[in-house]
Structure 1
């Protein structure tokens, strides 16, 4: 392929698969080297577009691209976005159960994916390494590559083994990517991964749109005052980093109780579901602020974060710059504020001491564990600390266990609900272990044969299984199986761990003495000293009087550090580093007062039952299921402020509260509700004649004064499509002249619902630029829809029919002109909608025959919003598609399909259980339910998940 042809392929792939018009600085050069098969080391600032540097080549290379990523949540987010774009991507990690992992690996071996994301721990599996060696990936991408270096700020032992794993799978070309790496770390990354003459790209650490400030505050009380001031003067989504779980909770309580802000809390002490919920609330805009430990943030793709505030000082400048860099990814100005107390240094020193415990503490932990009889050992770090009499923090116990595991003295097992672990420690070519058993050991022989079948020659690998199911398969009762397993584990090279809760530890050799362990404490001491050196550089940053940006760039060796004054930090003339507060704005127009009265009416009709977020959702016409559940859709104020965004209404409510018209009352812990104050009732009844003055950002004040119409912004210079500003959902925030068009609000509502369903920011569905184009052009068929910028094939396949349906319902409405354009002619009225809900539905699947068109009939009036998403799912099932096929066609999780069908059945839509249940299972469930008197309690059968059982009950409730 010629250079010109290659360039055309890159441009076409960028446009068609990623809906982007041009590359960001540095991306093209990196991608060209990757496609040519060269090793690459890429350092790009946070938000610079690192992911595209391996995602785009993956679509052009002959075999799959293997991506090593540190966080499961990060993998899922990236895979979800790629699938939305029509890219064949998947992940393989511990979030999948063993059966799913085996199936997924078989699919990978069959060549069904272009991109596969794994955690570095996956290379511990001989089965996985063997599969990758056969596949020989075209590219190995190592994300967050600084984790591979002991000189980096987030060293992880499993990352250090990637270089060896790379050689074992055929040494494919490799791209290592990171946002923060000094020159020393970059050299170490190249050495550890064995990169051959790598092309190195350092696109610069400078983020000109970020303003840095440090506020000295000795006590937490002082920090809370500074925090309130910073948030007030830097409105918009914010991330607050705190050093501990307890501080996260206390800061979050302060923000909710004292400032009435919508807050999500995120730290490692929460369950996985709670963390996912907190992240989803922040990403969707339901929570304006997230208060988190450093467990939050990696891979969080929210472009419009306006401030990142560190309540406590991080331990390294690398960590600080990476976390602060999550602000302002949309290219607009954002603030990075460090609340500094000298006492934070002592806190970080304590962390370092616990991370590098002395040899005596490590030996003390080992001797305590090897003296215990239980196997496995199921104790928390706190229990070990207390029982062993260790003086350091319990986190030091965790570090000691990690060190001992690295030395081969201990082994940790991670639990799975009601599952046991077995591992056969035999050679791959060794005959069956039954040859080592006596001729009379019939039960043990049966169990060994069963285990060998279960392991399927994956020797040395931990295999999870349900003991009850295994016993039934072998024809044994559970006690007999347990006795046999205990005997076999004592006599044969078989490890067996029964079901347990929490982390479990096994001492590999209890006869081994602590002093015989091979642990390089000298090397650990050197790493500890490096951590103290980095802490010192962090403290200097907090106390320096030089330009803060210059200090940071100099630390990373960036040549642009020669600029002495950035003009945006507190040391370059911006006083305390905080933005100028918003002055009170008089709302003296008739349209503006009408908006205020609508807001107050919404508060009045809520009758003190809801907080400001729900009231804002009701006033803007949210499609949230809360609106139906609580009857808010039936209020006269539902949707009367559809031209406003939900966070805008929240800010108006806050301004009214600050002016005494609305009051927030805490009726439940941390859950304030909104009520009208006496002054608010007077204003609503027309008894307040004096001018109305509210403290609001200029843009919202202007929009309110104009009755919901946004001011036309001055034309901006052309910018990269990726650098466009984003609104609270992550979509383009440029004021739209079309926002008053009913179709604009309709399409925006659709987009929000699809985003919630996909658990993605709204801009991942399509941007406001695309929204404006849809309203202006009003396409009436799939061909015209394909001409809209920002709607690629995958988006049209998933949402095209619903978009056309919505546009057809507004066919008789006038079209708002684009700024400066001549009035557009009205589009021709679309005929009665007769189109497929998705091009995917026009194609036959397997042996099924489907019509080329599906007539969409509905009893809804033309002014209704759209055909519900659950209806499309029902129509797929009606046409004979299976549940997994419907999920694949619609690009949704299997659980979403079950929810759709359950909701439809409860609303009276006929759903036949025969469509999703095997006849034998259905008969068995019906018989059991009849015997119990048609109960609605959970099924006693293992094959009945809660979601499937609820769907079954909803169908049977129809009669």
Structure 2
């Protein structure tokens, strides 16, 4: 039964009618007259968690919380500081997004990756939740506008890059914001023991000192050792937090390491076996490897595979990513950047052709397999020289003191920055140009930038998405006249959209926004965007435009110094941490015991029992091992689908006849397989 308006039934509630609508998960304009059912009225008198479950279903479409989520949400709603330790794909973001729309005021989310915060904001908006972000890709004018909107209560969630918290503009606006809750995503970045340490993360708590007593906190990570957990709690001032951990057990993942000097051959064998299971992901390490391996897999196995790396145009990367998520592309061979924030539950296998340097990175990347709980296979291909190469690259990644000073000076010169001068905003830097100016290789130049960032001498932001910049050279009145009098309606819409998106600031200087975002607003193809801008620039002379690639953004902290004044200990501290982490990776590869036990103990779990299904656990049960399981398991899975001849099994797996016969003989002796009319059947699936 529908009963008249919310306002009429205000007496039923202890909160305002507007809050009723928000809590129920509706996306309504409250100036209109809206109705609630008796069920809605009944719900308003229920507990916070009953309301949370209702919102979970209404907004997210989920019938129930996943393991650990309800405990975390409840802790946040009770205004308790909370530390969430969920594995990759465990649903961390819901633990702060859902409470954010239930709590009064606004939630600030600290996120380290530009692309991830933009994706999450887009997803929230699609669910009718008011959210935005501020980071270094936005102009000062746009940031000021979004902060003004936040001050006026227009957002429930505001995503912010950690570097932004130190800006004078943020510090000036912070006391004016109605904050109730702060979420620190990827919280392992706080710790120098974390595999992705960012100095700016250690300044998060001090940045909120002015509102410290009125807000609660949540910190979330998928990869935290005991040292990292302690560092997170200490740095954020969590004295007695609620700790919600799902543990690091992934019972559906069959951890496997194959030591081989012939990685290409083993990779082809692994993909050949795995191709029938579903979609897969190969981490190739370098751009060159990704291109070469994708071609080889496509040509040799007749399995469609494509390379993915930063050298590919953004539009093409988006196509590859979406086709893989949709199941149209069975295999992607990628650098480590692929997979961040991608929600694909049914990836059946992840193969590392190149060894990651930390167990955290390996666990996070390999954990993208089997997020739906179905049996899946992470495989690490390894040869002895990998560890030697990794150790040398870590050492080489830390330039000497003189090299660091020289690169710093070259960077400041490229930015036209005198000693003592400060930068107002981040600027784009070409690594090629910096290498040329410094006389160093691109590798040394990149390493030096990373070290300077770790030491908080510069702010460094990796720009994921290409940008497009526009500077209107004609007056606003003239452009509006062109729009009004245009005979071509498409041209009028195109130009009007540009004017709305870039605003008044673009009349004074070149203003940049994401290319993909502008393309969506214009509702035309990427080529049509560039062609239209070219016409408006060359023929109409209304504007000037630039298209930038995925170049990093840099800002010198506290003005240019004449001397960095760094000690040897400062330079080597983080390097030594990475070398120690490499030792743990070596231990994982070389252990003769259960690999899952090794991983879980590394992350601090105790009394862990062997999994029974990794390669080490299976050594005593089978005689020949391959990707994701033994040859025996591969044959079993093939025969469970129906009888096969030896020739058919050879063609299916690309094996020699002797290898197939050996496995079949073993299975026949074990009374698992029977032979009939030259075909072999699994006993439980006989025809």
TM-score (norm 1): 0.50
Query: Is 1:193 matched with 2:236?
Result: yes
Does the 8 Å CA contact 1:179/1:322 hold for their aligned counterparts?
Answer: yes
Unaligned stretches of 5+ in structure 1?
421-462, 471-497, 589-654, 660-692, 706-959
Give the direction of change, closer, same or farther, for the CA distance of 1:560–1:31 in structure 2 (3 Å limit): farther
Cα–Cα, structure 1 residues 168 and 291, in superposed 2: closer, same or farther, change >3 Å?
A: farther
Q: Is the contact made by 2:199 and 2:453 (CA closer than 8 Å) also made in structure 1?
A: no
- Which of the residues 606, 611, 618 maps onto 1:573? 618
- The alignment partner of 1:290 has SS state of strand
Determine the structure 1 residue equivalent to 2:662.
Answer: none
Within-5 A mapping of 1:98-497: 100-170=142-212, 172-232=215-275, 235-368=277-410, 380-385=430-435, 388-390=438-440, 394-404=442-452, 417-418=468-469, 465=506, 467=508
- The answer as to 2:89 corresponding to 1:47 is yes
Could you say which structure has the greater relative contact order, defined with CA pairs below 8 angstroms and 6 or more residues apart? 2
Q: Contact between 1:74 and 1:300, CA under 8 Å: does it hold in 2?
A: no
Tell me, in whole angstroms, the C-alpha distance in 2 between the residues paired with 1:373 and 1:324: 40
Q: Cα offset for 1:221?
A: 2.7
**Equivalence for 1:870:** none
**Cα deviation 1:143-163 (Å, max 9, x = unaligned):** 111111111001122222212
Matched residue of 2:443: which SS? helix
Please state whether the residue corresponding to 1:583 is helix, strand or coil. helix
What is the distance in 2 between the residues matched to 1:464 and 1:362?
Answer: 37
2:307 is paired with a residue of what secondary structure?
Answer: strand
Shift of 1:395: 3.0
Residue matched to 1:525? 572
Question: How much has 1:512 moved relative to structure 2?
Answer: 5.1
Query: Counterparts of 1:372 and 1:72 in 2: how far apart (Å)?
Result: 25
Which residue is 1:429 aligned to? none
How far apart are the structure 2 equivalents of 1:694 and 1:169? 74
- Classify 1:112/1:348 alpha carbon distance in 2 versus 1 (closer, same or farther; 3 Å): same
**How far off is 1:363 after superposition?**
2.2
Over the aligned positions, Cα root-mean-square deviation in angstroms equals: 4.2
The answer to whether the 8 Å contact 1:553/1:560 transfers is no
State the match for 1:837 in structure 2.
none
Which residue does the alignment assign to 1:29?
A: 71
- Distance across 1 between alignment mates of 2:555 and 2:151: 33
Q: Does 1:549 align with 2:596?
A: yes
Match of 1:583 among 614, 619, 638: 638
Structure 2 distance, partners of 1:165, 1:201, is: 26
CA distance in 1, matches of 2:191, 2:618: 38
Q: Distance in 2 between matches of 1:333 and 1:184?
A: 31
Q: Is the 8 A contact 1:41 1:201 kept in 2?
A: yes
Contact 2:281 2:351 survives alignment (8 Å): yes
Decide which of 125, 128, 136 is 1:83's aligned counterpart: 125
Deviations 1:914-952 (A, max 9, x none): xxxxxxxxxxxxxxxxxxxxxxxxxxxxxxxxxxxxxxx
Inter-CA distance 280–351: structure 2 relative to 1 (3 Å threshold): farther
Cα 1:261–1:126 change in 2 (3 A) is farther
Structure 1 pair 162–223 and aligned structure 2 pair: CA distance change class (3 A): farther
Tell me by how many angstroms 1:318 deviates.
1.0
| Partner-residue secondary structure (3-state), 1:105 | helix
Q: Distance in 2 between matches of 1:521 and 1:363?
A: 13
**Alpha-carbon distance between aligned partners in 2 of 1:362 and 1:694, rounded to the nearest angstrom:** 68
- The number of equivalent residue pairs is 530
- Which residue number corresponds to residue 911 of structure 1? none
Summarize the Cα distance change of 1:41–1:503 in structure 2 as closer, same or farther, 3 Å threshold: closer
**Does the 8 Å contact 2:80/2:241 carry over to 1?**
yes
Give the 3 Å change call, closer, same or farther, for CA 541–192 of structure 1 in structure 2: same
Q: How many angstroms does 1:500 deviate by? A: 10
Question: Judging changes above 3 Å, is the alpha-carbon distance between structure 1 residues 510 and 199 closer, same or farther for their aligned structure 2 residues?
Answer: closer
User: Contact 1:547 / 1:571 at 8 angstroms: preserved in 2?
Assistant: yes
1:585 to partner: Cα distance: 9.0
Distance 1:552 1:81 in 2: 32
Structure 2: 5+ residue stretches without partners: 1-13, 15-43, 418-422, 472-503, 512-544, 653-677
1:859-874 pair list within 5 angstroms: none
**Secondary structure, aligned partner of 2:243:** strand
Instruction: Confirm or deny: 8 A CA contact 1:136 1:170 kept in the other structure.
Output: no
> How far apart are 1:40 and its partner, in Å?
0.8
Go from structure 1 to structure 2 and tell me whether the alpha carbon gap of 1:165 and 1:570 turns closer, same or farther (over 3 Å shift).
same
Equivalent pair of 1:30/1:40 in contact (CA under 8 Å) = yes
Alpha-carbon distance change, 545 to 126 in structure 1, aligned in 2, over 3 angstroms: same
What is the match of residue 535 of structure 1? 582
Aligned equivalents of 1:123 and 1:274: distance in 2? Answer: 34
Distance change >3 Å, CA 94–CA 374, structure 1 → 2: closer
Once the two structures are TM-superposed, the CA of residue 347 in structure 1 deviates from its matched residue by 3.0
Question: Does the residue aligned with 1:533 lie in a helix, a strand or coil?
Answer: helix
CA distance in 2, matches of 1:316, 1:507: 29
Q: What are the superposed Cα offsets for residues 144-203 of structure 1, whole Å, 9 maximum, x if unpaired?
A: 111111110011222222122222454521100011101110011112222242222222
Instruction: State the TM-score, normalized to the length of structure 2.
Output: 0.68
Cα 1:389–1:147 change in 2 (3 A) is same
Q: 1: distance between equivalents of 2:379 and 2:163?
A: 35
Deviations 1:710-769 (A, max 9, x none): xxxxxxxxxxxxxxxxxxxxxxxxxxxxxxxxxxxxxxxxxxxxxxxxxxxxxxxxxxxx
3-state SS of the aligned residue for 1:331? coil
User: Alpha-carbon deviations, 1:92-138, whole Å to 9, x = none?
Assistant: 34555666544433332222222222222332433234333311321
| Structure 1 pair 209–228 and aligned structure 2 pair: CA distance change class (3 A) | closer
Contact 1:308 1:335 in 2 (8 A): yes
SS at match of 1:67: strand
